[in-house]
Amino acid sequence: MKWLNWVLVRFSVLGALGTVALAIFVLVNLVAVAMGPEPAVANGLATQAVPEPDPATSTAAPGSDDPAGVLLAATETTNDATADLAAMHPTIDPELIASLEAAFNNAPQRSDADIAEAQARAAAIQAEVDAGMDYQRARYYPLHFAPAIETASNEECLVCHQEILDHQPRSASPAGVSTDSTFAWYQTLDTYEGPQASFHWRHLESDYAKNVMNLECVFCHKGNDPREESPYMVPTRAAGSAPDVPEFTNRKMVNPSETCLLCHGAMPDPIEIMGLGAPWPETRLDMEDEETINGCLVCHGEYGFRTSRHNVSYLNALNIELTAREKSDTCYGCHGGRQWYQISYPYPRHPWPDMDEEVPEWAADRPTQSKPEYQLPPIPVE
């Protein structure tokens, strides 16, 4: 049984090494815990929760008259029957407005009861913070993880994270290049207003964002682990396991392929999929003029291709259609104009009236419905 001995010895050596490693690991962590966070940070929580109003930073970025933080509940809506859409969109034919209204819905607004409940839960968190919550407890606050995060409201997250809406980008790069002298390609789109703002502000607070989208913290943040930063090591599930589509990807705070890619992908293949002769910046020159300000609508207008679209709770589908008739980059913006990727999102392919029965090859694997968690009730098609 020499081989067995050999195996046993190997294993005990490995085991001993493992124990030593574990001991060192535990020790390092104990020391880290004992040292604790920098006192300034530990005490900083209360200041973070109730930021001192700093005139230089705490006003909303230009372009909005809504002070940062008086948030989200105030989102303007145009999908209720009382809104005078014709007055709000004087350049659009009122008949067209009526037909768009019948075919597209904005995301439903929260009820007063829902808002009151969210505010009450936020007040309860605030009370816990005021009673004295240390940095580590706040950092591992259960709201950060499944299942609590699934139903968290913006109000609750903002009790501790108001700072993300107050941040301002640098006015100059570390090397001294001033922001005024630079211009990103996506700032050339006619939807873009004001100087560069913070990432969160631009998605949650700008007038344009509130008009076309209805994003919540938990649309992007579905839980993450501040220590391992891996979806396979989160506090609330067995080590090594993660769903097929993880809530976030390694070292990131979100899953970019399920969030950013939706609105920052490349334009879906203009040649193969849309039958255009060339990429959009070239094609549009022949398609757009003063009459037809948005060339996408030549094929995606009322009777075009893929007219059942955007019926999800994180978009304002009706406002998108209205804005698209006023701004030429509305559609292109989310479908190629501010792309961070070489690829585009494989969108679901909802059936539309006059759709060809035959499924093109590129669409063979496509779902025909939006993700269930975001689906809104279907709109009857005439």
Q: Which of residues 308-337 bind ligand HEC (CB under 6 A)?
A: 309-310, 312, 314-315, 320-321, 324, 330-335
Closest CA to 155 of 129, 213, 127, 116: 116
Q: Segment near ligand HEC (CB under 6 A), from 13-21, 103-111, 130-138, 233-241?
A: 130-138
Tell me the C-alpha distance between 173 and 126, whole Å: 36
51, 69, 279, 348: which one binds ligand HEC (CB under 6 A): 348
Q: Segment near ligand HEC (CB under 6 A), from 5-13, 87-95, 159-167, 236-244?
A: 159-167
68 binds ligand HEC (CB under 6 A): no
Q: How far is the CB of 241 from ligand HEC (least distance, A)?
A: 20
Q: How far is the CB of 245 from ligand HEC (least distance, A)?
A: 14
* 293-90-205-369 Cα dihedral, nearest 10 degrees: -60
Q: DSSP class of residue 53?
A: P
Residue 273 half-sphere exposure toward CB, CA atoms < 13 A? 16
Applying CB under 6 A, the site for ligand HEC has a residue count of 85
Nearer residue to ligand HEC within complex by CB, 26 or 269: 269
Q: How far is the CB of 90 from ligand HEC (least distance, A)?
A: 19
- Residues 74-113, mask of contacts with ligand HEC (x by CB under 6 A): ----------------------------------------
The answer to whether residues 232 and 241 touch, using CB atoms and an 8 Å cutoff, is yes
SS3 assignment, position 2: helix
Q: How far is the CB of 191 from ligand HEC (least distance, A)?
A: 4
Tell me the C-alpha distance between 145 and 223, whole Å: 5
Residue whose tokens read 């002298």: 181
129 binds ligand HEC (CB under 6 A): yes
Tell me the C-alpha distance between 205 and 167, whole Å: 12
Q: Residue 156, Cβ neighbours under 10 Å: how many?
A: 24
106, 154, 211, 249: which one binds ligand HEC (CB under 6 A): 154
Tell me the C-alpha distance between 174 and 151, whole Å: 39
105, 219, 231, 234: which one binds ligand HEC (CB under 6 A): 219
Q: Residue 223, Cβ neighbours under 10 Å: how many?
A: 23
Q: Residue 343, Cβ neighbours under 10 Å: how many?
A: 11
Interface positions, 32-51, toward ligand HEC (CB under 6 A): 45
Q: How far is the CB of 96 from ligand HEC (least distance, A)?
A: 13
Nearer residue to ligand HEC within complex by CB, 60 or 312: 312
Q: How far is the CB of 140 from ligand HEC (least distance, A)?
A: 8
> Exposed e or buried b for every residue in 6-28, given b needs 16+ CB within 10 A?
eeeeeeeeeeeeeeeeeeeeeee
Residues with Cβ within 8 Å of 207's Cβ and at least 6 positions away in sequence, in order, are: 63, 64, 193
Q: Segment near ligand HEC (CB under 6 A), from 22-30, 78-86, 236-244, 302-310?
A: 302-310
Q: How far is the CB of 371 from ligand HEC (least distance, A)?
A: 6
Q: How far is the CB of 26 from ligand HEC (least distance, A)?
A: 23
Q: DSSP class of residue 328?
A: T
Tell me the C-alpha distance between 233 and 240, whole Å: 6
Closest CA to 49 of 166, 133, 162, 134: 162
34: which 2 tokens?
Answer: 């004992």
Interface positions, 224-283, toward ligand HEC (CB under 6 A): 224, 226, 253-254, 256, 259-260, 262-264, 268, 273-276, 280
Nearer residue to ligand HEC within complex by CB, 241 or 375: 375
143, 234, 318, 322: which one binds ligand HEC (CB under 6 A): 143
152 binds ligand HEC (CB under 6 A): yes
